Chains A and B, each alone.
Chain A
Amino acid sequence: MLRRDILKGIGGSLGMLGMAHAAAPGPHFAPKAKRVIFLFLNGGMSQVDTFDPKPVLDQRDGQPMPGPKLQTDRAAGNLMKSPFRFARHGQSGLPVSEIFPKLAKRADDLCVIRSMHSDNGNHGPSLLMMNCGHNLPGRPSMGSWLTYGLGTDNHNLPGFVVLCPGYPVLGPQLWDSAFLPATYQGTHLLTKESGPEKILQNIRNAKLSLGEQERQLALLDRLNAGYLQQLGHEPQMEASIASMEVAFRMQTEAPEIFNISNEPEAIRARYGDHEFGRGCLMALRLAEKGVRMVQVYFGNFQPWDSHDDIRVHSKLAQAADGPIAALLEDLKQRGMFDDTLVVIGSEFGRTPMIQNSGLERVGNGRDHNVHGFTTVLAGGGVKGGMAYGATDEFGYKAVENKVHVHDLQATILHLMGLDHTRLTYRYSGRDYRLTDVGGHVVKPVLA
């Protein structure tokens, strides 16, 4: 059959067929990880209450913060101790807060970067920085860069999937392909939806059976073949016509993957009956099927934004802890832990000082903090059971082995086999890259 001949002829990366860029420019060298799962605790996880213990805060609770004042988002008050206890875990003795009891059991798998810093203390710019490498909108997201750079391992699924019950702050800008071809845009799926029809547009035909469609495709092949013959040599058109076959196959294969009820009850139970848990389980299945990057937002808007009451972090962690631990466990169990890079983090951290401005009601919260925060890595190509870098004695500002967001991005790309300085795209006369003009690979965290 003709379309199969064409398929054979062009082989390779059909799912990503784009006129402009049929072949992916990467990888540049052998990758350590084949895929990324980015668990985004949107809103801003507080480092001093989770992975960066600061005993000094207990001693100086309620006292003013010494030293020069750094820019914060709102009026900042005195130092405030963490309401949560820390303990050391695993052989590595990595300290983890009591609000992550299950994740703490996997301490030896975690690579905790405590010296993250970013540029702008508002959610919008920092979300853009973490996702797209720039404070302003208009740049492609990391998932878009990865799929542009590496193509996909599964032609029947989108290469970059974003899961959220609804939308985080800024929404689609965070998975935008911007000036990269639209094929590389993240496919946003609502974790609160269940039917595949709601997840992938046009995946089902309301009226026609697969048999009827097969007959349509056969006719279409012959018509297109006749037209192509008249045109002469047009390889791009040939490739485009071949993508029909892929589309046909997607109709039967894709819905299967999104149906998490296929997982045994025992597995589903560990992820919990919560949207973030379902997102983590779906991420596992998508990663298993070769999706290049899956991003799971913890929730709509910005749940981790505990301005009011830092104790709410324990409720948030309660929902996050089980699914993350289960995901790490299942990746191991399915033999995927070593080549799946898991990133756990936020757009920024929180101040060690109390925030008690007239906007808040409880008066026990923390403000945004871009000067120092924590991101946790696990799996594909990173060392487990280590803490890298440090904030000052209060947990306010990264001071030792500082890691800018661009450095984190350079490292993620490196683990995926891409040189962040060579993964470029020419737009409006300039070569752009994810890390703008910055970024250094953080070598000490590499396994």
Chain B
Amino acid sequence: MAIRGLGFALFALPLLCPAAPADFFEQRIRPLFVKRCQGCHTIDKLSSAAVVPGNPEASVLYQAVARTHAKLQMPPTGKLPDAEIADLARWITEGAVIPAAPPPGKPSSWAFSALPQPAPVNIDAQLAKQRNEAKLTPNPRADKRTLLRRVTYDLTGLPPTPAELAAFDADRSPDAFAKVVDRLLASPHYGERWARHWLDLARYADGQLGASSDTPYPNAYRYRDWVIHALNADRPYNEFARAQIAAEKPEDLAALGFQALGHGANDQLDVTTRTFLGLTVACAQCHDHKYDPIPTKDYYSLLGVFKSSKVHEHPLADEATVKAYQDHKKRIDDAKFALERFVQLQAADLAELLARQTAQYLTAKTADGLDPEIFARWQAYLKGPAKDHPFLENTTPEKFQALVNRIFADRRGMEERNFVKLGGTKGLRDESTRQWTNLESLPILEYYLWRDLASDPYNKDFFSFAGGIYYFGEKEIDRWLSPLWKAEHDRLRRELKELQDTLPKQYPFLHTLRDADKPANAKVAIRGDEQNLGEEVPRHFLTALCDSEPAPFTKGSGRAELADAILGHPLTARVIVNRVWQGHFGAGIVASASNFGQLGERPTHPALLDALAAEFIADGWSLKRLHRRIVLTDAYAMSSAYTAANAQIDPENKLLWRANLKPRLDAEALRDSLLAVAGQLDRTAGGPAQPLADTFHRRTVYGYVGRTKPDPSLALFDFPNPNNPAEKRTVTLGPMQRLYFLNNSFVARQAEAFTQRLTGDDRTKIQQAYQTLYLRAPREEEITMGLQFLQQSGGAWPQYAQVLMTATEFTAVN
């Protein structure tokens, strides 16, 4: 949209601002400008005619919105609500204060401020304080069965077994639950579970977006496995993060899949800032961030870093192998081109020769003395449907022959001139040269005649052409070639085939980034338009997150310096601590886990988040110990029971008076659980991704994640679209999911396998089933229900098991 001039632009009064009016501006006026004016007006300059501080009536801005100005009426779409006009009046009366972008060193947001001194944190005490103030009564501790199920799903994404519950039940020591937690954190399944959370953020997929199918990245899994391994090894988070931005050690290069398995510099910038800093820097691609202190220039400062980093397939093979493979591929390309060009030129010469006999073919009654195949082609052509050219009407064989000769001669001349225009063979092989070279061509009707006689077959855009009468291609041209040319044709064919047959399988490689040979600053793309470039900006960190003027990055692309800057900022620890919290409580202390900016949610427990972040850093950035601190709280162990009195005060459970119910297992936990209870889960770790077929019994995290077509069952259960980073899964519950439980063959297979595990009479089997699926004994009426069903269905155990496995008690976690 065009920036419309009002004779003034909004905003540029350099005023010093007392705190209250500045807050009023941020809370009421900035949103108003954004909503009502910024579609057309820029927010950077405000002339003194527009706003006279202290005097709304004299301010053109006010006159325009209040509709008291003689000509100017804003906004043109209709008068603002009275309340907004009153806000504007109040703002101007109070001095029309606009807080300047925060000067370096002065944090603008709670999230950017320094962390407190680290100290051991009593999470429960901090939660209790706010709960008490709100007069909420916390729920009692959940029973051991509920707690074991909750923590096992949260830490490993798998259901606990009856034996695990029995052991937990039998352990009466005060640290019985801590032992369970330590067991789960030590399990390799912990890394698989939490890697999947991370892969959601990393918009991970095993293939590249295509129109109808993915181009698979056969080596993408090496990044996925790196994440799983790093989490299982409890690599400190600062190392874990740094590796994914600027890995240097060979054993960590796989981590750069975080960057490389995406789509370009803008995407890398977005996913990096969103994941590690919880900021939507990408908003500043087209305009200064409307809410956070991120100017467009900062976006391009960071973009310079990513544009100076190139996607690189880092070979896991020696140099000689790589070179041999690349050379071999190039030789195939060359051989292919040589063969195609040979056939093209021969076919063109042949068609031109044959075209001179056109009059004979037109007049002949039989193929005598002519080539029978061409004669047959002519016969078919003359009988065929209406032609795209008029030249066969009202003509004589002689006239037609003359026309054909002339058109072929014209065409030959054009081809030669076009070849020169393109710059010879080199240009001919270069798509971009061809795209930008205007060539000569025959007038369209003459082209159609030439095409019908001499063109190779083609199939484009809803139109296909089977090949001209005089056209003989690769497979059929040999009979026209002299022995010498034929030998040459054979040689070219043989050479190509030999090369193709001997191409070795491509060596394995890692998807990484490496610094460009010549790192360079980016230029600001005005309003995000890359064809409209403004000034060049140095590569540096976000101004708002620096204590002073940001120092330009000087080493290579600057990625290593960017990683240092990100990890040196307190925001980074706050963001990851909040993500872990969200993973356990269902909601983060900051509910918008990837937006800690002005438009994100405010923290429910800011002091707690800060204290946890400080402790996390002091504790050496250990994620496992952070999990432990969180799940060993009383708050985590509360029951999820609903109490009306509490719900009235805090219906969203923001102050954690109960545990949050998880109404449905996510896609992976659901599939893994069905396999686990059926005794079918293959616990092998790592390796190339495979399609999630019914017969694929490994954990879902090892299944193929498609960008173009997500696995339909995963998508059905809200698996996030891997083209966008996902900070949290949405949870939908709908009939299409119910159809899955009713009819999907995978569910039926697992129900059948589950049935095979049960032994004894029906009553005993029902008891076993309840223990395995729900970790409890069935009530008497439940046994009766089961027996009744089995009786009515003629003992259809798989049908019964399917019901038990799709019941809410199995698919929800309370």
Contacts and interface: CB of A to CB of B under 8 A. Distances in A.
Interface of A: 14-20, 43, 71, 74-77, 83, 136-138, 155, 158, 166-173, 176-179, 181-183, 185, 200-208, 212-213, 215-216, 219-220, 222-224, 226-228, 231-234, 236-237, 239-241, 243-244, 246-248, 250-251, 299-309, 311-312, 315-316, 319, 356-359, 361-364, 428-430, 437-438, 440
Interface residues of B, number: 98
Contact of A358 (B433, B594, B743): B433
Contacts of A201: 712, 716, 736, 739-740
Contact of A208 (B451, B708, B732, B799): B799
Contacts of A172: 708-709
B740 A202 contact: yes
A362 B433 contact: no
B808 A224 contact: yes
A138 B267 CA distance: 11
A233 B592 contact: no
A232 B642 contact: yes
Interface in B717-739: 718, 721, 723-724, 727, 730-739
Nearest to B593: A428
Contact of B661 (A17, A75, A234): A234
Given A171-B709, A205-B743, 8 more contacts: A136-B266, A202-B743, A202-B744, A312-B463, A357-B434, A359-B434, A362-B447, A430-B599
Nearest to A362: B447
B792 A215 contact: yes
B641 interface: yes
A168 to B, nearest CB: 7
A216 B732 contact: no
A75 B732 contact: no
27 contacts: A18-B733, A18-B734, A20-B730, A20-B732, A43-B461, A75-B436, A136-B266, A138-B724, A177-B721, A206-B745, A215-B799, A219-B800, A223-B809, A224-B807, A224-B808, A226-B782, A248-B738, A251-B739, A299-B462, A311-B388, A316-B462, A358-B418, A358-B435, A364-B447, A429-B599, A437-B1, A438-B39
B212 A167 contact: yes
Nearest to B732: A18
Nearest to A248: B742
B531 to A, nearest CB: 7
A306 B447 contact: no
B272 interface: no
Contacts of B427: 358
A213 B266 CA distance: 50
A181 B212 CA distance: 23
Nearest to A431: B599
A75 B441 contact: no
Interface in B780-809: 782, 785, 789, 792-793, 796, 799-800, 802-804, 806-809
A202 B812 contact: no
Contacts of B421: 358
Given A138-B723, A363-B439, A220 B803 contact: yes
Interface of B: 1, 38-39, 77, 209-212, 266, 274, 280, 283, 388, 418, 421-422, 427-428, 431, 433-442, 444, 447, 451, 455, 458, 460-463, 531, 592, 594-595, 597-601, 640-642, 644, 647, 661, 663-664, 708-709, 712, 715-716, 718, 721, 723-724, 727, 730-740, 742-745, 748, 782, 785, 789, 792-793, 796, 799-800, 802-804, 806-809, 812, 814
A83 B664 CA distance: 60
Q: Is the interface of A mostly helix, strand, loop or mixed?
A: loop
A158 B601 CA distance: 33
B739 A428 contact: no
A309 B592 CA distance: 52
B748 A213 contact: no
Nearest to A188: B709
Given A216-B803, A248-B742, A430-B283, A308 B733 contact: no
Contacts of A204: 743
B460 A437 contact: no
Residue from the set B723, B734, B792 with the largest chain A CB neighbour count within 10 Å: B734
A256 to B, nearest CB: 16
Nearest to A224: B808
A357 B436 contact: yes
B417 to A, nearest CB: 12
B793 to A, nearest CB: 6
A236 B663 contact: yes
A161 to B, nearest CB: 13
Given A18-B733, A237-B663, A247-B739, A311 B460 contact: no
Contacts of B458: 361
Nearest to A119: B529
Contacts of A207: 748
Contacts of A300: 212
